[in-house]
Amino acid sequence: MIEQLEELKSRALEHLGRLDALPALEDWRVTYLGKRSELNQILRNLGTLEPSARRTVGQIANDVKRLLESEFNDRRTQIERTLREAEVARERIDVTRPAKPTLIGQKHPITQTLEEIVGAFRALGYDVVEGPEVEWEKLNFDMLNIPPEHPARDRWDTFYVKSEGSLPLGQMLLRTHTSPMQIRVMEKTKPPVRVVVPGRCYRYEATDATHESQFTQVEGLAVDENLTFADLKGTLTAFTHMVFGPERRTRFRVDFFPFVEPGAEMAVDCHGCHGAGCRICKQSGWLEIMGAGMVHPKVLEGVGYDPSRYTGFAFGMGVERISMLKYGIDDIRLFFANDLRFLRQFR
Ligand code: DAH
Where does residue 151 rank: exposed (0-12), middle (13-18), buried (19+ CB within 10 A)?
A: exposed
pTM of model > 0.85: no
Q: pLDDT tens, 314-339? A: 999 999 999 999 898 989 999 999 99
Residue nearest to atom 12 of ligand 1 (CA): 315
Nearest CA to ligand 1 atom 4: 177
For ligand 1, atom 3, the nearest C-alpha belongs to 177
One DSSP character per residue, 241-274 reads: HHHH-TT--EEEEEE--TTEEEEEEEEEE-TTTT
Active site residue 274: no
pLDDT tens-digit profile of 133-190? 999 999 999 999 999 888 888 877 899 999 888 899 999 999 999 999 999 999 999 9
Q: How far is the CA of 292 from the centre of ligand 1 (A)?
A: 6
Active site residue 136: no
Average pLDDT, integer, range 264-291: 92
Task: Say if residue 262 is preceded by a cis peptide, omega within 30 of 0.
Answer: yes
Q: State which of 117, 157, 174, 177 you would mutate to test the pocket of ligand 1, scoring each by most atoms of that ligand within 8 A of its C-beta.
A: 177
Spot the catalytic one: 222, 260, 267, 319: 260
CB 183 within 8 A of CB 303: yes
Cα–Cα distance measured from residue 113 to residue 54, given in angstroms and rounded to the nearest whole number: 102
Task: Characterize the bridge pairing of strands 172-174 and 160-161.
Answer: antiparallel
- Check residue 99 and give its pLDDT: 87
Query: 293 near 260, Cβ under 8 Å?
Result: yes
Ligand 1 atom closest to the Cα of residue 259 is 13
Confidence of residue 102 (pLDDT cuts 50, 70, 90): confident
Listed in sequence order, the residues at least 6 apart from 283 whose beta carbon sits closer than 8 Å to its beta carbon are: 277
203: annotated active-site residue: yes
Active site includes 217? yes
Closest ligand 1 atom, CA of 217? 4
Identity of the residue numbered 36: R
Fold classification of 110-346 is: BirA Bifunctional Protein; domain 2 (3.30.930)
Q: Which residues line ligand 1 (CB under 6 A)?
A: 177, 179, 219, 257, 260, 291-293, 314-316
